């Protein structure tokens, strides 16, 4: 799995071992794991099967690396604090096209692949959309044969597991490695040292050059664990390299000799803390020192790895380094990479500052993921000074030179200096990490058209004026392998029967489905697939929520992290509105619905946790009321994760994408639902806008204030008068305030009520309520016309071609990274040969 192709043995073992999957499975089961027939538990079978598949991945990874070493291709490193991978087995079987062989081999153990797959824990090394995007990107890079390495942290504990007790979220640690992680291979010989603390000294060398040296540091070891990333049926296997922190073996000798052996060993804990746990905050900053240590640990180890690989091939000659390397920073989290690359080049490789800066600013590219001010990372200068003293010096130097450039552009404008400085003044000065990323990168991109425009006109406007050429958009996407072919096998077969199978690797082809949107036979089959997917979701909801869903009803789903800007609150207010109609007997022509809401709240996010409690209490009241049963059922699904989404999105009729306009950078859940034939009810926010453009307004339920309207509304927003003037919303508030949903828990929802009624409510929930209800009644009417709904559903899938992450990654590759795919190289070469022939 290592990038290095040094051969230890003259002849490596031939892949003859890998001809018969059945033999390999038995060998791993009986010998590698040492089990016998009585121990055919799904866990051991899962491990034996994973090792069997891994052998094949390792073989392909080796040839992928050998080919690339020969071709000397430019490589990209995707550096991310999060990779929300989910399960690997089913995806690998799909991408390697081993389904039939695996099913045959499992017959002798009398188990179904599905049961074996269920033994795998999700690799939950991410919070939500940002981490899942990184995972989709890795699949697309491999499937497009692009030389891209993912770099992340091998958290011992990933995203917490959520359960619900008395309606409240309970967090449990996610010990995902406990039963072993068969996909990874460690390479301890390639460990890197990462420095912390200490201080900086200077010395002058014989040539009279001044040097800064970072000394007396407390070092931590970064040990790499490589996870194979298979491309779709193309023999390419890329690598995700995850770093684990370990103590160096150098104990504090003085302590050791003074007899404090155990104290010295206990120091190990400090080092090992770094990769212990993922911070469970989505879209909000984390001022903790340990988080900064994680960021520096990942960045330093990854950059050292790439530089060591470079030196192994080119020696200390960095002339062409930026022709062969590019780094994509996934959000501001790894932005210290800008300063760290400078440190490595200037201090460790003795390069002149200007030369090093040239390399840094032609290899770093930054993706911004959010406009929420609370997510913009800033670190206090005193913390930096203590933890990373040499990096602080470098940031000061970058800033001084940058502010010189600002002064040239805007002479004498000290406001501009203050506004753009990497250091924010104040009682405790802060380092603006996003600014460091912008100054040090040649590319700054947003993740949907609207988001990029808002970056240019708002948050980063002055930087845009300074360097308009740096800014570009890359609308997010999701991989159609996991999010259609793998998670919705019946739809995959139906689609392939009508338009062939090319769409799986060339998702543009999905548009040929358009031809059949009005075809009765196709519609009937489409309906049958949706219905059977809904049965699967019924089982899941029954098992985890003890609520009975009914496949004949409209499945209305909102699953995503719980956040005020995503407005799960607006959703539950509408549910209460429907319940009031039922109680009043206004049920004539009502479309029966099952409403599913799921998602985790950050453990310290009070309001998000209150919203979960409200949803659960409302669900409990409605589900207990016999009057509601024929029309409305509500469930909160605990522990929403990648694997849950694989059952949810194929079964959804209505996709809820109802964030306050201008707040959701892109969204990717919206795309997974669309691919699987759900129709969106949504605001003009993030990628919803592009979904609406692709599918047309007749096949999308649009509502709510636009970003522009929101700006003017905020000035004199009066939610109380909005509530008073809305018959529906005032009835909803009356019911909540009467304590109907918290009879024995007085006042628990006061915070929520006050938040909606507050004139400074940033999310404008009351403002959008009536518009949302109107759109929802259009949904209800549309669902009653089964044929019409099926047309819309088919057209949504058929119009989802743009939202493949293959399209996104092709744009990153062409417009930012300038990579050539291995496959393209070969075809180019063939073309040349043909020309010459």
Ligand X SMILES: *Cc1c(COP(=O)(O)O)cnc(C)c1O
Footprint of ligand X (CB under 6 A)? 128-129, 132, 560-561, 641-642, 645, 667-669, 672
Q: Mind spelling out the 3-state secondary structure of 158-226? A: CCCEEEEECCEEEEECCCCCCCCCCCCEECHHHCEEEEECCEEEEEECCCCCEEEEEECCEEEEEEEEE
Pairing assessment for the beta strands 185-186 and 192-196 based on DSSP bridges = unpaired
Which residue's Cβ lies closest to ligand X? Answer: 669
For ligand X, the closer of residues 64 and 666 by Cβ is: 666
Rg (Cα) of the chain, in Å, rounded? Answer: 28
Query: In a 3-state reduction of DSSP, which class is residue 73?
Result: coil
Q: How far apart are CA 133 and CA 126, in angstroms?
A: 10
Q: How far apart are CA 28 and CA 114, in angstroms?
A: 19
Query: In a 3-state reduction of DSSP, which class is residue 335?
Result: coil
The Cα angle at residue 181 between residues 176 and 187, in degrees rounded to 5: 125
For ligand X, the closer of residues 571 and 668 by Cβ is: 668
For ligand X, the closer of residues 133 and 766 by Cβ is: 133
DSSP state of 660: P
Q: Which residue has the tokens 């002479």?
A: 411
Q: Give me the least distance between CB of 132 and ligand X, in Å please.
A: 4
Pairing assessment for the beta strands 218-230 and 185-186 based on DSSP bridges = antiparallel
Quick count: other Cβ atoms within 10 Å of Cβ 271?
A: 21
Q: How far apart are CA 427 and CA 399, in angstroms?
A: 19
Q: Give me the least distance between CB of 243 and ligand X, in Å please.
A: 23
DSSP state of 602: P
Nearest to residue 136, comparing CAs of 56, 80, 96?
A: 80
Nearest to residue 590, comparing CAs of 776, 464, 436, 404?
A: 776
Q: How far apart are CA 170 and CA 152, in angstroms?
A: 27
For ligand X, the closer of residues 335 and 641 by Cβ is: 641
Q: CB–CB of 676/649 below 8 Å?
A: yes
Active site residues: 369, 560-561, 566, 668, 672
Q: Give me the least distance between CB of 672 and ligand X, in Å please.
A: 6
Phi, then psi, of 637 in degrees rounded to 5: -85, 120
DSSP state of 601: P
Which helix (H) or strand (E) segment holds residue 66: the answer is: helix 42-71
Long-range contact pairs involving 729-737 (C-beta distance under 8 Å, separation at least 24): 729/573, 729/577, 729/766, 729/769, 729/770, 731/577, 731/580, 732/573, 732/576, 732/577, 732/580, 732/769, 735/576, 735/580, 736/576
For ligand X, the closer of residues 302 and 568 by Cβ is: 568
DSSP string over 724-790: HH-HHHHHHHHHHHTTTT-TTSTTTTHHHHHHHH-TT-TT-HHHHHHHHHHHHHHHHHHHHSHHHHH
Q: Give me the least distance between CB of 561 and ligand X, in Å please.
A: 6
Nearest to residue 220, comparing CAs of 241, 196, 189, 185?
A: 196
Given phi > 0 = left and psi -120 to 50 = alpha, else beta, which region is 201? beta
Q: Give me the least distance between CB of 560 and ligand X, in Å please.
A: 3
For ligand X, the closer of residues 561 and 613 by Cβ is: 561
Q: CB–CB of 391/405 below 8 Å?
A: no
Q: Give me the least distance between CB of 116 and ligand X, in Å please.
A: 22
Q: Count the helix, strand and coil residues of the chain and give each as a percent rounded to the nearest 5.
A: 55, 15, 30
Q: Give me the least distance between CB of 600 and ligand X, in Å please.
A: 9
For ligand X, the closer of residues 394 and 642 by Cβ is: 642
Helices (H) and strands (E) counted in the chain, each on its own, are: 35, 25
Nearest to residue 818, comparing CAs of 476, 443, 453?
A: 443
For ligand X, the closer of residues 295 and 688 by Cβ is: 688
For ligand X, the closer of residues 105 and 447 by Cβ is: 447
For ligand X, the closer of residues 128 and 719 by Cβ is: 128
Pairing assessment for the beta strands 210-215 and 199-204 based on DSSP bridges = antiparallel
């Amino acid at each position: 799995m290592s990038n290095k192709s040094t051969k230890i043995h003259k002849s490596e073992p031939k892949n003859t071992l890998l001809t018969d999957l059945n033999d390999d499975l038995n060998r791993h089961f009986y010998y590698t794991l040492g089990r016998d027939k009585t121990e055919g538990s799904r866990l051991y079978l899962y491990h034996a099967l994973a090792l069997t598949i891994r052998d094949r991945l390792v073989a392909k990874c080796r040839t992928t690396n050998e080919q690339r070493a020969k071709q000397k291709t430019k490589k990209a490193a995707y550096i991310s604090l999060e990779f929300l991978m989910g399960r690997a087995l089913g995806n690998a079987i799909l991408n390697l096209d081993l389904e039939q062989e695996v099913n045959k081999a499992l017959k002798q153990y009398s188990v179904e692949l599905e049961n074996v797959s269920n033994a795998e824990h999700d690799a939950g090394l991410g919070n939500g959309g940002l981490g899942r995007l990184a995972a989709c990107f890795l699949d697309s890079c491999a499937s497009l044969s692009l030389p891209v390495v993912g770099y992340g942290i091998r958290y011992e504990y990933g995203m917490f597991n959520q359960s619900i007790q008395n309606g409240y979220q309970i967090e449990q640690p996610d010990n995902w490695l406990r039963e072993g992680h068969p996909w990874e291979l460690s390479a301890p010989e390639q460990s890197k040292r990462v420095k912390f603390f200490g201080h900086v000294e200077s010395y002058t060398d014989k040539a009279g050059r001044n040097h800064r040296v970072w000394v007396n540091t407390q070092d931590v070891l970064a040990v790499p664990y490589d996870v194979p990333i298979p491309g779709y049926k193309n023999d390419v296997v890329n690598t995700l390299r995850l770093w684990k922190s370990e103590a160096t073996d150098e104990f504090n000798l003085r302590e050791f000799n003074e007899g404090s052996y155990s104290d010295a060993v206990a120091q190990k804990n400090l080092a090992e803390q770094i990769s212990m746990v993922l911070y469970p905050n989505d879209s909000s900053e984390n001022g903790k020192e340990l988080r900064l240590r994680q960021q520096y640990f990942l960045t330093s180890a990854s950059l050292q790895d790439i530089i060591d690989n470079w030196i192994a091939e080119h020696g200390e000659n960095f002339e062409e380094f930026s022709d062969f390397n590019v780094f994509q920073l996934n959000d501001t989290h790894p932005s210290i990479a800008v300063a760290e690359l400078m440190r490595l080049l200037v201090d460790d490789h003795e390069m002149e500052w200007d030369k090093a800066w040239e390399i840094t600013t032609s290899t770093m590219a930054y993706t911004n993921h959010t406009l929420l001010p609370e997510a913009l990372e800033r670190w206090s200068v005193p913390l930096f000074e203590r933890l990373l003293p040499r990096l602080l010096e470098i940031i000061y130097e970058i800033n001084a030179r940058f502010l010189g450039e600002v002064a040239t552009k805007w002479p004498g404008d000290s406001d501009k200096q203050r506004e753009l400085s990497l250091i924010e003044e104040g009682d405790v000065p802060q380092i603006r990490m996003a600014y460091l990323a912008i100054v040090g990168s040649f590319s700054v991109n947003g993740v949907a058209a609207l988001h990029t425009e808002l970056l240019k006109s708002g948050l980063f406007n002055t930087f845009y004026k300074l360097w308009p050429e740096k800014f570009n958009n890359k609308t997010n996407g999701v991989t159609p392998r996991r999010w259609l072919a793998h998670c919705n096998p019946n739809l995959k077969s139906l689609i392939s029967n009508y338009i062939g199978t090319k769409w799986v690797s060339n998702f543009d082809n999905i548009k040929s489905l358009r031809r059949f949107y009005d075809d009765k036979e196709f519609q009937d089959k489409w309906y049958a697939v949706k219905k059977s997917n809904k049965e699967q979701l019924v089982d899941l909801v029954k098992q985890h929520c003890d609520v009975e869903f009914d496949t004949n009803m409209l499945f209305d789903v909102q699953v995503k992290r719980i956040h005020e800007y995503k407005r799960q609150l607006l959703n539950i207010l509408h549910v209460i509105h429907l319940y009031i109609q039922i109680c009043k007997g206004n049920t004539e022509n009502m479309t029966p619905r099952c409403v599913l809401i799921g998602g985790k709240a950050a453990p310290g996010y009070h309001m998000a946790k209150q919203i979960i409690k409200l949803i659960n209490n409302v669900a409990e009241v409605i589900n207990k009321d016999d009057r509601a049963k024929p029309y409305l059922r509500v469930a909160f699904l605990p522990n929403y994760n990648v694997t849950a989404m694989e059952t949810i999105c194929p079964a959804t009729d209505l996709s809820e994408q109802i964030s306050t306009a201008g707040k959701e950078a892109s969204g990717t859940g919206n795309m997974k639902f669309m691919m699987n034939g759900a129709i969106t009810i949504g605001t003009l926010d993030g990628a919803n806008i592009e979904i609406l453009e692709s599918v047309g307004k007749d096949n999308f339920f649009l509502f709510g204030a636009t970003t522009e309207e929101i700006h003017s509304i905020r000035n004199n927003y009066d939610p109380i008068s909005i509530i008073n003037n809305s018959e529906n919303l005032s009835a909803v508030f009356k019911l909540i305030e009467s304590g109907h949903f918290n009879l024995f828990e007085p006042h628990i929802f006061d915070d929520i009520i006050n938040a909606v009624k507050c004139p400074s409510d940033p999310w404008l929930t009351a403002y959008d309520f009536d518009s949302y209800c109107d759109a929802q009644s259009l949904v209800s009417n549309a669902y009653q016309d089964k044929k019409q709904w099926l047309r819309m559903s088919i057209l949504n899938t058929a119009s989802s071609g743009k939202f493949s992450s293959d399209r996104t990654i092709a744009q990153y590759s062409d417009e930012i990274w300038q990579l050539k795919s291995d496959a393209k190289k070969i075809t180019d070469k063939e073309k040349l040969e043909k020309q010459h022939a």
